Amino acid sequence: MSLTTNAKLALLTRLSRKAPAAAAPLPSNLDRDRAIGWKDLPNGGELALVHDAGIALGLENPYFRIHDGMADAETTIGNRRYINFASYNYIGLNGDARVANAAKAAIDRYGVSASASRVVSGERPIHGELETAIAGLYNAEAAIVMVSGHATNVTVIGTLLGKNDLVLHDAAIHNSAVEGAKLSGARRIAFAHNDLRAAERELVAHRKRAGRALLVIEGHYSMDGDLPDLAGFIALARRHKAWLMVDEAHSLGVLGASGRGIAEHQGVDPAGVDIWMGTLSKTLSACGGYIAGQERLISYLKYSAPGFVYSVGMPPVLAAAALASIEVMLAEPERVAKLQENSTLFLRLARAAGFETADSAGMAIVPVILGSSLVAARLAQEMFDAGINVQPILYPAVPERSARLRFFMSSTHTEAQIRQTVDIMADAVVRVRKMKTFGQ
């Protein structure tokens, strides 16, 4: 039986008169760890294993190194200059005076923050200018920008799909798309990487039982540096009445004669893609994400996507930097051409030296597959000691047989830097492979 209002008031009065219970003693750190269960978190054991192995082998942690200034083809870490292959400054726009001046002018006009959701009072002219420029890259009707590239995929996929729908994505798709699919509640199926036939088999098997269907691929895959058959995926989506979404995070500024991405690179009409997605944190030297497509889609997202409606608007300074970067990119296509030239050279030299580079297209991302996390970690350390900064990708981020060094190229790398790097790597890998498991 529920209590009446008067009975509830009487009970609260009696309870308030009782002396407070003695506070329980604070648990020890060990007790707290057991109670909270930090080690039981997903992948907690694997991360601890990698950490402990690095200590046992005397390897420095290659992650979270502090760069003392702008990271470009070279960077400063701990007062030492390094040739840098671990940044996304693909065509050297981060640090360009025109981009920096646009950002400074935006601060002077708008301040640092939009100070509100754009729906409420955070809308600024620079937001619309940037969205118009992004839409123009794809000949799209409209675009929307958000404060995080990762959150863009999460909130857009999570908003457009529901429990009766289907999300079919490449097995190598970015985590943000996977998290968006999980949030949506839709059935999520991964198909073999870059395999059109595998994708079609899954659509044939599952499309009829779904309401809406979304096919998600990337324009340039960030782990292997390879490209999809865009025209093939467009045709596949049309045959099965599915939306096609292409993540251009590593395509914009990298592919195509003017840097417009995979559609320009492969000579495909961008109108065949329903949802163009990308980030502002790489070529465009800012931070955030975007969606380009039909006006009805963009309008729907502006009023419905939680990651936009309930988030502060993109800082005007970042919007200004991204807009200026687009303008410079389109005005100076030689930057994109130089990036592609550098990447092709690195890929050719690495393969000539006997390194496995997967199916990299030689367009800004070149993996060097080493087949062992231990070898990858040690080789990265050897190269760092020699003045070259490149990140190892280790298990469990990739399968053990796919452990690698991943090189991000820039238009600002010189031919001498590229040749020097491959020569050092070729010498160092011989030493590393001769090392014992421990001790050396």
Mean pLDDT of 122-133: 97
Distance, CA of 167 to CA of 181 (rounded, Å): 6
Helices (H), 185-270: 196-206, 230-239, 262-266
Q: DSSP assignment, residue 146?
A: E
* Backbone dihedral angles phi then psi of residue 67, each to the nearest 5 degrees: -90, 130
Q: Kindly report, as residue ranges, where domains of CATH 3.40.640.10 are found in the chain.
A: 97-331
What's the pLDDT score for residue 112?
96
Q: What is the pTM of this model?
A: 0.89
- Res 67 pLDDT > 70: yes
**pLDDT class of 439 with cuts at 50, 70, 90:** very low
Determine the Cα–Cα distance for residues 347 and 22; give it in Å rounded to an integer. Answer: 69
Tell me the C-alpha distance between 407 and 392, whole Å: 9
**CATH class of the region 97-331:** alpha beta
Share of the chain above pLDDT 70, in %: 87
Residue type, 431: R
Higher pLDDT, 427 or 18: 427
Q: Is the CB of residue 300 less than 8 Å from the CB of residue 268?
A: no
Task: Give the pLDDT confidence of 341-356 residue by residue, as tens digits.
Answer: 999 999 999 999 999 9
- Residues of the chain within CATH 3.90.1150.10 domain(s) are 54-84+334-434
Q: Is the pLDDT of residue 192 over 80?
A: yes
Give the distance from CA 18 to its chain's centroid.
56
- Say whether pLDDT at 44 is over 90: no
Q: How confident is the model at residue 15 (pLDDT cuts 50, 70, 90)?
A: very low
> What is the reported pLDDT for 34?
60
Query: Is 60 exceeded by the pLDDT of residue 6?
Result: no
Average pLDDT taken over every residue of the chain:
91
Question: Is 428 a residue whose pLDDT tops 60?
Answer: yes
Predicted local confidence at residue 19, as pLDDT:
44
Give the pair of three-digit tokens for residue 371. Answer: 């087949």
Other C-beta atoms closer than 10 Å to the C-beta of 367 total 25
Is 49's pLDDT higher than 70? Answer: no
Mean pLDDT across the stretch 273-278? 98
**In which band, very low, low, confident or very high, does the pLDDT at 242 lie, cut at 50, 70 and 90?**
very high
Ranges 55-59, 235-239, 317-321: which has the least confidence: 55-59
CA angle (396 as vertex; 390, 399 as ends), nearest 5: 90
What does the DSSP 8-state code read for residue 282? S
Distance CA 247, CA 250 (A): 8
What average pLDDT does this structure show over 66-86? 95
For 54-84+334-434, the fitting CATH number among 3.30.9.10, 3.90.1150.10, 3.40.50.300, 3.90.950.20 is 3.90.1150.10
* DSSP H or E segment with residue 327: helix 316-331
Helix, strand, coil percentages for the chain (3-state, nearest 5): 45, 15, 40
Q: In one letter, which amino acid is 161?
A: L
In this structure, are residues 387 and 82 in contact, taking their beta carbons and an 8 Å threshold?
yes
